[in-house]
Amino acid sequence: MAEENPKLSPSLLLFAALQLFFFFFFSASSQSFIGVNYGEVADNLPPPSTTATLLQSTSISKVRLYGADPAILRALSGTGVGVFIGVSNGEIPSLASDPAVANRWIASNVLPFVPSTNILLISVGNEVLTSGDPNLPSQLLPAMQNLHSALLSVAGAGQIKISTVHSMAVLGQSEPPSLGAFQASLADTLKGLLGFLQSTGSPFAVNPYPYFAYGSDTRPETLAFCLFQPNQGRFDPGSRITYMNMFDAQVDAVRSALNGLGGKDVEIVVAETGWPYKGDPNEVGATVENAKAYNGGLVSHLRSMVGTPLMPGKSVDTYFFALYDEDLKPGPASERSFGLYRLDGTMNYDIGLARSGQPAPAGPSLPSSAKNPTGYCVPRPGVSDAQLQANLDYACAQGIDCTQIQPGGSCYLPNTIASHAAYAMNLFYQKSAKNPGNCDFRQTAALVMGNPSYNTCIYPGS
């Protein structure tokens, strides 16, 4: 039986008021941890002004460019969208050898656009340490230092950070996450880079792709682990943590590697991650269903603010790859099939990025008839928080409305994984034709007849 609502104390009233303030403030704005990659290896992209309008209709708050396209930077002026621009690998030698070149680069690519365009970060090169060019690694830090010095000389640009983006191949070991470590051959170079990042307050940027991990291990349980779907998890004996998804495991492996090299206070940014929605016949897992499950599951996971096991309570800034397909990219079909949006601005598939109140394009709807109206779907007793978090991520990624368990929602309090998971799991079940098979969650849920609603939190039911 639900308890009667007691009178609220002044402190609780203040807490509730603050929760409502933050809810409406953040609902009206983009979510600061969700970004997208805007690649231009294509000959059919819409005008930058059209893209700027599209971005403002979404909860995407940041855009990563691989260069510093002036037309895009102008189009983003005044939008508030944060911009992550890039220096090409080919520019690194000249930037490293001559501070005047760095000054000119900043004067051409930054000075004309700040502060009206919100430039946040400059990446010096992309995956330099694993590019195969033996000369670039030693030139990377000097180039970053020269660009940083150039920024400090420009009024209003000193807050822009300098970093570089790494592939996961910089790790010599990534499993289990607690033993994550960098390649021994890169240790000296990375120590220098980490010293720079620490002194300037800049992040370590990395590109984790569970899609590629699945390509080398195509067991069904690995796919579920990659796609934020219910699974048995993977136990890390070093930390005694059971990981419920590949994204957290990969990011925490980077966290362990940074900690081991003295970079405990360096924040991580996910500069790229995504899943292709189609591929060549031999590209296992490249389907619309899997792309929607991964990207939608990750959006839900980020919005939950649970963080990763080694970095709890805060979502890592994450740039999804990619905004559009790039039709001129070489390689397998998947390389040209990562786009979240079509060229006309409609979604390839819906992962919940439209701003609240804006309709998503029509897609396959869940059945509304109820052959088995059998009560409410709730977690079984004794289910771990890790498994409940996986259930929560999975349910909210399936197109249901989880706003009631976000800050300010009627079911946000108590702010626990168990409470939020129970609401989401039941809502998923109710919206899925009330089929008992949709209240299984790998045998971690059960149907009950008692109404679990409480106070103002109403569980949909029979």
Active-site residue numbers?
127, 272
Distance CA 148, CA 341 (A): 34
Q: Are 120 and 62 in contact (CB under 8 A)?
A: yes
Distance CA 98, CA 120 (A): 24
Torsion of CA 296, 299, 301, 303, to 10 degrees: -140
Torsion of CA 403, 405, 411, 416, to 10 degrees: 180
φ, ψ for residue 372, nearest 5 deg: -130, 70
Q: For residue 96, which of 132, 133, 149, 134 has the smallest C-alpha distance? A: 149
CA angle 201, 202, 206 (to 5 degrees): 145
Distance CA 322, CA 45 (A): 13
Q: Are 385 and 391 in contact (CB under 8 A)?
A: no
Verify cis geometry, omega within 30 degrees of 0, for the bond prior to 115: yes
